[in-house]
Amino acid sequence: MITLKISPEKHLTLTNHAKVYLGENKIGDINIVAPEKICGKSIRDLNFILYVNTEDNCIKYPLEFGEFSCIKIPITTDITETAGEKEMYIEISLGGEVLGKTNTVVLKVQPVMLLNKQVKSRSELENEIKELMDIINQNKDDFNSIKEAIEYKYIEIPDDTPTSEYSKFIDKINSDADLRRITEAYDFDTLHIPEGTTRIGNYSFYCSTFSHIYIPDSVTNLLGNRAFAYSKIKSVTVPDTVKRIDGNSIFSNCEELTSIIIPDSVTFIQSGLCGYSKKLKTVALPGNCQIGGGCFAQCYELEFVTLGKDFNSDLDLSSSTLYSAETIVSWIEALKNRTGYQQAYILTIGSVNLAKITDEQKAIATNKNWNLA
């Protein structure tokens, strides 16, 4: 899933990896996330058109934000019929008058690659190579079996190759580069968790080297404590089939993580979500969701944070001082009106960020029975 995020200032951010593949009928969605207000106007009063410039033409997608501030556009062969860079931007208008457009981001379409259908560890691959060499040694006189065994490891043998030359392909398997070739065939930069998976256990991908992780729609609860902690993951988009994130510190200490998008379907997030992921820059959180403590501890680079409508949970975003005043005001306006509730919730943003907004703007939160700290 590719995610575009519109900031309150109309900037456009590509918050998930832009890797799509040529020739597939439907590889996923463009997920468009917007704040409740842009340039002081409610997104439901504005008109949006997504432009995707391909090699031959410009594709237009009219966007309409309903109850939620998130829209999905399917990526089809209109976009992926040719390889190359596709420029995307969003035009914003009001009552027929164009207010402006966002900046441009680039979607990269690559030739089709063989994606792994099953996630395998390095040790499993090494064991497979050893087993393959055993098969070759046991079947030296059966060249057809040897050819099949070699090609099973993604080393192609042309049909007109004489059997006397098979040895050079066997040497390739035994070379120092064998694991690299298999890794490339399996696209080890991206982890595709198999479709049908329903739960991800504790420490499942702890310290893994994957840059991107695809979570299938069959997953309804991210259960595993520290399942992706200390990994090299760069971006996360949680599918809208997920209802709860019960795993403690599930994406913590991810030194390359820059963005995480959590859909409105999620109603509970366990503590420590992305704590100590110090490059984290972009976050989208659902409104009606209870959020545990320390989810963004020491996330010093946080800048683009979107809160869902009627946001209703204590939240600490004080680690960063990079937020704009307009972004902070958008949080206050997204807060649920808790007038009449006995308990006031707390939005902690820190003294530096508090100084960016006026007393009148702070009073909006107070009047909703919220405390700013």
Nearest alpha-carbon partner for 3 in 20, 18, 24: 18
Nearest alpha-carbon partner for 59 in 34, 86, 82, 39: 86
Classify residue 88: in a domain, yes or no: yes
Phi, psi of 265 (to 5 degrees): -70, -20
173: DSSP letter: H
- pLDDT at position 16 is 58
Of the pLDDT bands very low, low, confident and very high (cuts 50, 70, 90), residue 138 is low
The answer, yes or no, to whether residue 119 has pLDDT greater than 60, is no
| pLDDT, greater one: 270 or 150 | 270
- Tell me which of 208-212, 219-223, 292-296, 360-364 is least confident: 208-212
Residue 127, domain extent: 122-185
Q: Can you give the CATH number for the domain in which 68 is found?
A: 2.60.40.3350
- pLDDT at position 10 is 86
Indicate whether 60 and 130 sit together in one domain: no
Indicate whether 176 and 103 sit together in one domain: no
- pLDDT at position 369 is 96
Indicate whether 62 and 104 sit together in one domain: yes
Spatial distance between the Cα atoms of 55 and 92, rounded to a whole number of angstroms: 24
- pLDDT digits over 310-325, tens only? 999 999 999 999 999 9
Indicate whether 89 and 141 sit together in one domain: no
Indicate whether 176 and 129 sit together in one domain: yes
Classify residue 167: in a domain, yes or no: yes
Helix H or strand E encompassing 283: strand 282-285
Asked whether the CA dihedral 325, 327, 328, 330 is positive or negative, the reply is: positive
Classify residue 258: in a domain, yes or no: no
Tokens linked to 174: 């035994």
- pLDDT at position 224 is 85
Q: Confirm if 303 and 281 have CB atoms less than 8 A apart.
A: yes
Q: Confirm if 280 and 301 have CB atoms less than 8 A apart.
A: yes
Quickly count: other Cβ atoms within 10 Å of residue 354's Cβ: 14
The answer, yes or no, to whether residue 296 has pLDDT greater than 90, is yes
What is the domain count for the chain? 2
**370-372: strand order across its sheet:** 315-316, 345-348, 370-372
The answer, yes or no, to whether residue 371 has pLDDT greater than 80, is yes
- pLDDT at position 359 is 96
Phi, psi of 68 (to 5 degrees): -105, 160
Q: Which residue has the tokens 């109309």?
A: 10
Indicate whether 59 and 102 sit together in one domain: yes
Single-letter residue type at 373? A
- pLDDT at position 328 is 96
- pLDDT digits over 250-260, tens only? 999 999 999 99
- pLDDT at position 118 is 47
Q: Which of 59, 84, 110 is the last residue of a domain?
A: 110
DSSP 125-170: HHHHHHHHHHHHHHTTT-HHHHHHHHHHTT----TT--GGGHHHHH
The pLDDT > 90 percentage for the chain reads 44
Indicate whether 144 and 74 sit together in one domain: no
Q: Confirm if 258 and 281 have CB atoms less than 8 A apart.
A: yes
- Give the best-scoring range by mean pLDDT among 76-90, 161-175, 185-199: 76-90
Indicate whether 18 and 95 sit together in one domain: yes
Classify residue 33: in a domain, yes or no: yes
The answer, yes or no, to whether residue 68 has pLDDT greater than 70, is yes
What value does the mean pLDDT take over residues 68-85?
A: 81
- pLDDT at position 268 is 97
Q: Mean pLDDT in the chain?
A: 82
- pLDDT at position 85 is 84
23-47 burial code (b ≥16 CB/10 A, e <16): eeeebbbbbbbbbbbbeeeebeebb
Torsion of CA 197, 201, 207, 208, to 10 degrees: -10
270-304 burial code (b ≥16 CB/10 A, e <16): bebbbbbbbebbbbbbbbebebbebbbbebeebbb
- pLDDT digits over 178-221, tens only? 444 444 444 457 777 878 888 787 888 888 888 888 888 889 99
Indicate whether 127 and 76 sit together in one domain: no
- Give the best-scoring range by mean pLDDT among 32-36, 74-78, 157-161: 32-36
Indicate whether 100 and 140 sit together in one domain: no
Q: Which of 110, 140, 171 is the last residue of a domain?
A: 110
Q: Confirm if 309 and 286 have CB atoms less than 8 A apart.
A: no
Indicate whether 91 and 179 sit together in one domain: no
What value does the mean pLDDT take over residues 291-311?
A: 96
237: DSSP letter: E
- Tell me which of 38-52, 161-175, 218-232, 236-250 is least confident: 161-175
Spatial distance between the Cα atoms of 305 and 260, rounded to a whole number of angstroms: 10
Classify residue 193: in a domain, yes or no: no
Classify residue 224: in a domain, yes or no: no
What value does the mean pLDDT take over residues 279-304?
A: 95
Indicate whether 164 and 144 sit together in one domain: yes
Classify residue 205: in a domain, yes or no: no
Classify residue 270: in a domain, yes or no: no
Find the length of the chain: 373
Q: Which of 134, 157, 185 is the last residue of a domain?
A: 185
| pLDDT, greater one: 147 or 47 | 47
The pLDDT > 70 percentage for the chain reads 79
